[in-house]
Chain A
Amino acid sequence: MSVLVIALGLSFFCWSVLAGTQRNWTAFWEYRNLFLKGWLSTLQLAGMSLIVSSIFGILAALALRSVILPVRHLALFYVELIRGLPFLVLILLLFYGPAEVTRNVERFTFGVFILSFFSGAYIAEMVRAGIESISSSQWESARAIGLSKWQTYRFVVFPQAIRQILPPLAGQFASLIKDSSLLSVIGVAEFTQSAQQAFSATYSGLESFLPLGVGYLILTLPVLFLSRYLQNLLRYEH
């Protein structure tokens, strides 16, 4: 019964919001190509950043475990600095700092870099936690059978750590997709910027920003389901 009431209430709310007399859905239809272009651009931005940030993350995680003290401190500085800064502040700092000095920086490439730089710090912590979940007896066994350090990572540590890392990494990918929307403030041509362009051209806010929300959910929900699925898989497969 309560479900029915909630469903009815929601439908009425949605109907009144979506079909209000001032709504102008033709504006969205008119700008559909702009939306699609932005959406695809965000997908590309997030996909490339996932790869680059994973590389940053793995390198930083290894650096965090380095026996060379300056390398370890540098990695720690990177990770804590990034984790302590809001993403928007980091974007503005890097854009009006180093990027402004070079002037002719390509926006999309810069977007991939900055998103990866940001996300890499979080991934570094996930990878580090995954590596540290491997018990010292595994390292000793690997040493005893004569594996080199690199071989130990490759054959013993990473295959086991990846089971710990994958669920939070999938979650991080969802965050990365969402965070990419902030790149619109420095003019990276992505999904949020498309919606803002459509909005300023038509002055129809909900008709621009509702498709924006739906578009992000289409990207993030499958990733979040994947993360949950991997978590369950990890729990039962022992």
Chain B
Amino acid sequence: MNTDGLQIRCQGVSKVFGDQPVLKDVSFEVRVPHVLALIGPSGGGKSTLLRVLGGLISPTTGTVAVNGQVLSKEESGLAPYRKRIGTVFQAYNLFPHLTALENVMLPLKEVHHFPDAEDRANATLSRFRLSDHMGKRPAELSGGQRQRVAIARALAIDPAFLLMDEPTSALDPEMTAEVLEVISSLRSEGRPLVLVTHAMGFARSIADHVLFIGEGRIIESAPSTEFFSAPKAPEAAQFLEKILRY
């Protein structure tokens, strides 16, 4: 496992969907021991940046390097890169026709060819207190259980790092708490994590570093403690004030 943390360097990264620019000339370099949080208003480009970092989409221009490795622009180069990353989306991660156990086993068996795929899947699900739900399909699980299975699936392959795109935004508060608890436990085991979130209190408690993203640009890049106590950019200050008011 990677215990050196995570280093990300973006140079002039832009992404255009159709004629809609979503990322505009994004350049930054960060190194975090554990958790990098991407925060900012909706539609600002956080999820797109996360998908670029995860090798799910290629930027229109610019280069991205993760832990010193420059990401390929070709699908053939991105595919092997993606295999080493665990990604968790907002919702509808799981395959509805497979049980929790089968969902976790699918990448272990078919992508990574672990001979002990079932044992690994079992162990990971047990760790997240899902032993009683392994034979259930997603439709029979609560939203919180589904996200925990999704995290188990991402983690079971022993990824170099994890990417999470608003993993709790589709959940009610109680389930949010149970998923955040699981994410916190990942920090303690030292696996690097890039997290897009609207849960500011959680971001504050878990992140080492924050990228504040709005209108397709990095507006502020700062260590978490600095960012949350005294944001420098006026947009960030406004955003935090608005979001933390209630």
| Distance between Cα atoms of A168 and B171 in the complex (Å) | 36
Contact A141 B93 (CB under 8 A): yes
Contact B110 A155 (CB under 8 A): yes
> What is the size category of the interface that chain B forms with chain A?
20 to 34
> What is the size category of the interface that chain A forms with chain B?
10 to 19
Contact B87 A144 (CB under 8 A): yes
B33 within 8 A of A: no
Instruction: Known contacts A143-B82, A144-B56, A160-B97; decide if A137 and B107 are in contact (CB<8 Å).
Output: no
SS class, residues of chain A in contact with chain B: helix
Give every chain A residue within 8 A of B112 (Cβ-Cβ): 146
A235 within 8 A of B: no
In the complex, how many angstroms separate the beta carbon of A234 from the nearest chain B beta carbon? 12
Contact B89 A140 (CB under 8 A): yes
A145 within 8 A of B: yes
Contact B107 A147 (CB under 8 A): yes
A151 within 8 A of B: yes
B83 within 8 A of A: yes
Instruction: Known contacts A146-B107, A147-B107, A151-B110; decide if A141 and B95 are in contact (CB<8 Å).
Output: yes
Instruction: Known contacts A140-B89, A159-B97, A238-B139; decide if A146 and B83 are in contact (CB<8 Å).
Output: yes
Contact B106 A137 (CB under 8 A): no
Contact B54 A160 (CB under 8 A): no
B153 within 8 A of A: yes
Q: Pick 21 A–B contacts, CB within 8 A, sort by A.
A: A137-B93, A138-B95, A140-B89, A143-B56, A144-B54, A144-B56, A144-B82, A144-B85, A144-B87, A144-B89, A145-B87, A145-B106, A145-B107, A145-B153, A146-B79, A146-B82, A146-B107, A147-B107, A147-B110, A151-B111, A155-B110
Query: Contact residues of B with A, CB < 8 Å?
Result: 54, 56, 79, 82-83, 85, 87, 89, 91-97, 106-107, 110-112, 139, 153-154, 157
